[in-house]
Structure 1
Amino acid sequence: MFLPKYPDSPTPPPAHTHTPTDPAPTRRSLPPVVIDKNTVAVVLVGGVVLTALLAAVAVTAISVAMAAVVLRSMLRDHNRR
Protein backbone atom coordinates (compact mmCIF):
# COMPACT_ATOMS: atom_id res chain seq x y z
CA MET A 1 0.00 0.00 0.00
CA PHE A 2 1.11 3.53 -0.78
CA LEU A 3 1.70 5.71 2.25
CA PRO A 4 1.71 9.46 1.62
CA LYS A 5 4.67 11.53 2.73
CA TYR A 6 2.43 13.82 4.68
CA PRO A 7 -0.31 11.84 6.49
CA ASP A 8 -2.25 15.01 7.36
CA SER A 9 -2.55 16.08 3.69
CA PRO A 10 -6.15 16.21 2.36
CA THR A 11 -4.96 15.19 -1.12
CA PRO A 12 -5.61 11.50 -1.77
CA PRO A 13 -2.76 9.37 -3.10
CA PRO A 14 -2.60 8.99 -6.88
CA ALA A 15 -4.70 6.16 -8.25
CA HIS A 16 -2.32 5.40 -11.16
CA THR A 17 1.42 5.36 -11.10
CA HIS A 18 3.50 6.36 -14.09
CA THR A 19 5.18 3.48 -15.85
CA PRO A 20 7.97 4.37 -18.26
CA THR A 21 7.34 3.51 -21.88
CA ASP A 22 9.66 1.50 -24.06
CA PRO A 23 12.58 3.45 -25.50
CA ALA A 24 12.21 4.80 -29.03
CA PRO A 25 12.61 2.07 -31.63
CA THR A 26 15.93 1.95 -33.36
CA ARG A 27 16.00 3.14 -36.96
CA ARG A 28 16.50 0.36 -39.43
CA SER A 29 18.57 1.01 -42.48
CA LEU A 30 18.02 -0.51 -45.89
CA PRO A 31 19.86 -3.72 -46.60
CA PRO A 32 23.10 -3.25 -48.50
CA VAL A 33 22.74 -3.42 -52.27
CA VAL A 34 25.24 -5.54 -54.13
CA ILE A 35 26.14 -4.14 -57.54
CA ASP A 36 28.12 -6.49 -59.72
CA LYS A 37 29.39 -6.24 -63.30
CA ASN A 38 26.27 -7.87 -64.75
CA THR A 39 24.01 -5.30 -63.14
CA VAL A 40 26.08 -2.43 -64.51
CA ALA A 41 26.08 -4.01 -67.97
CA VAL A 42 22.30 -4.48 -67.96
CA VAL A 43 21.71 -0.88 -66.87
CA LEU A 44 24.07 0.46 -69.53
CA VAL A 45 22.54 -1.65 -72.30
CA GLY A 46 19.05 -0.66 -71.18
CA GLY A 47 20.04 3.01 -71.22
CA VAL A 48 21.52 2.72 -74.71
CA VAL A 49 18.43 0.95 -76.04
CA LEU A 50 16.05 3.50 -74.51
CA THR A 51 18.14 6.36 -75.86
CA ALA A 52 18.11 4.81 -79.33
CA LEU A 53 14.33 4.40 -79.20
CA LEU A 54 13.91 8.01 -78.12
CA ALA A 55 16.14 9.18 -80.97
CA ALA A 56 14.15 7.06 -83.44
CA VAL A 57 10.89 8.60 -82.26
CA ALA A 58 12.35 12.10 -82.54
CA VAL A 59 13.65 11.48 -86.08
CA THR A 60 10.29 10.02 -87.11
CA ALA A 61 8.42 13.02 -85.68
CA ILE A 62 10.71 15.45 -87.51
CA SER A 63 10.34 13.61 -90.80
CA VAL A 64 6.54 13.50 -90.48
CA ALA A 65 6.48 17.22 -89.73
CA MET A 66 8.67 17.97 -92.75
CA ALA A 67 6.45 15.81 -94.97
CA ALA A 68 3.39 17.67 -93.71
CA VAL A 69 4.99 21.04 -94.52
CA VAL A 70 5.96 19.89 -98.01
CA LEU A 71 2.50 18.44 -98.71
CA ARG A 72 0.80 21.61 -97.47
CA SER A 73 3.03 23.70 -99.69
CA MET A 74 2.31 21.48 -102.70
CA LEU A 75 -1.44 21.56 -102.08
CA ARG A 76 -1.42 25.33 -101.63
CA ASP A 77 0.46 25.77 -104.92
CA HIS A 78 -1.92 23.34 -106.64
CA ASN A 79 -5.01 25.21 -105.39
CA ARG A 80 -3.64 28.57 -106.66
CA ARG A 81 -3.50 27.35 -110.26
Structure 2
Amino acid sequence: MLPRPRSVSPAAIGGVVAVVLVVGAVVVSLLLAVAITALSLTVCALVIRSLLASPHR
Protein backbone atom coordinates (compact mmCIF):
# COMPACT_ATOMS: atom_id res chain seq x y z
CA MET A 1 0.00 0.00 0.00
CA LEU A 2 1.41 3.38 -1.02
CA PRO A 3 1.59 6.17 1.57
CA ARG A 4 -0.91 8.96 1.13
CA PRO A 5 0.76 12.20 -0.07
CA ARG A 6 0.64 14.98 2.48
CA SER A 7 -1.20 18.11 1.55
CA VAL A 8 0.62 21.39 2.07
CA SER A 9 -1.37 24.20 3.63
CA PRO A 10 -1.64 27.51 1.77
CA ALA A 11 -0.14 29.27 4.80
CA ALA A 12 3.03 27.18 4.48
CA ILE A 13 3.26 27.97 0.77
CA GLY A 14 2.79 31.68 1.53
CA GLY A 15 5.54 31.55 4.14
CA VAL A 16 7.95 29.90 1.72
CA VAL A 17 7.14 32.48 -0.95
CA ALA A 18 7.71 35.30 1.55
CA VAL A 19 11.08 33.88 2.58
CA VAL A 20 12.16 33.50 -1.06
CA LEU A 21 11.12 37.08 -1.82
CA VAL A 22 12.97 38.47 1.21
CA VAL A 23 16.15 36.51 0.43
CA GLY A 24 15.94 37.64 -3.19
CA ALA A 25 15.55 41.28 -2.17
CA VAL A 26 18.55 41.03 0.17
CA VAL A 27 20.73 39.45 -2.52
CA VAL A 28 19.73 42.07 -5.10
CA SER A 29 20.40 44.91 -2.66
CA LEU A 30 23.84 43.49 -1.80
CA LEU A 31 24.73 43.19 -5.48
CA LEU A 32 23.54 46.74 -6.07
CA ALA A 33 25.66 47.98 -3.18
CA VAL A 34 28.72 46.22 -4.63
CA ALA A 35 28.06 47.74 -8.05
CA ILE A 36 27.69 51.25 -6.61
CA THR A 37 30.89 50.83 -4.59
CA ALA A 38 32.81 49.66 -7.64
CA LEU A 39 31.50 52.58 -9.68
CA SER A 40 32.44 55.14 -7.04
CA LEU A 41 35.92 53.62 -6.66
CA THR A 42 36.37 53.83 -10.43
CA VAL A 43 35.37 57.48 -10.46
CA CYS A 44 37.74 58.23 -7.56
CA ALA A 45 40.60 56.44 -9.30
CA LEU A 46 39.99 58.39 -12.51
CA VAL A 47 39.91 61.71 -10.66
CA ILE A 48 43.10 60.93 -8.72
CA ARG A 49 44.86 59.79 -11.88
CA SER A 50 43.76 62.95 -13.66
CA LEU A 51 45.02 65.10 -10.78
CA LEU A 52 48.37 63.32 -10.68
CA ALA A 53 48.83 63.44 -14.46
CA SER A 54 48.01 67.13 -14.86
CA PRO A 55 50.98 69.50 -14.97
CA HIS A 56 51.40 71.55 -11.81
CA ARG A 57 50.87 75.27 -12.22
Task: Indicate the TM-score class for this superposition, using the shorter chain for normalisation.
Answer: 0.7 to 0.9
Q: TM-score, normalised by structure 2?
A: 0.75
Partner of residue 41, structure 1? 18
How much is the aligned-residue C-alpha RMSD, in angstroms? 1.9
- Counterpart CA distance in 1 for 2:13 and 2:35 is 33
Find out whether 1:69 has 2:17 as its counterpart.
Answer: no
Find out whether 1:58 has 2:35 as its counterpart.
Answer: yes
Percent pairwise identity = 48
Greater helix percent: which structure?
2
Q: TM-score, normalised by structure 1?
A: 0.54
Structure with more relative contact order (C-alpha pairs < 8 Å, separation 6 or more)? 1
Please identify runs of 4+ aligned residues in structure 1 that moved more than 3 A. none
* Structure 2: stretches of 5+ with no match in the other structure: none
Which structure's CA Rg is the greater one? 1
* Structure 1: stretches of 5+ with no match in the other structure: 1-30
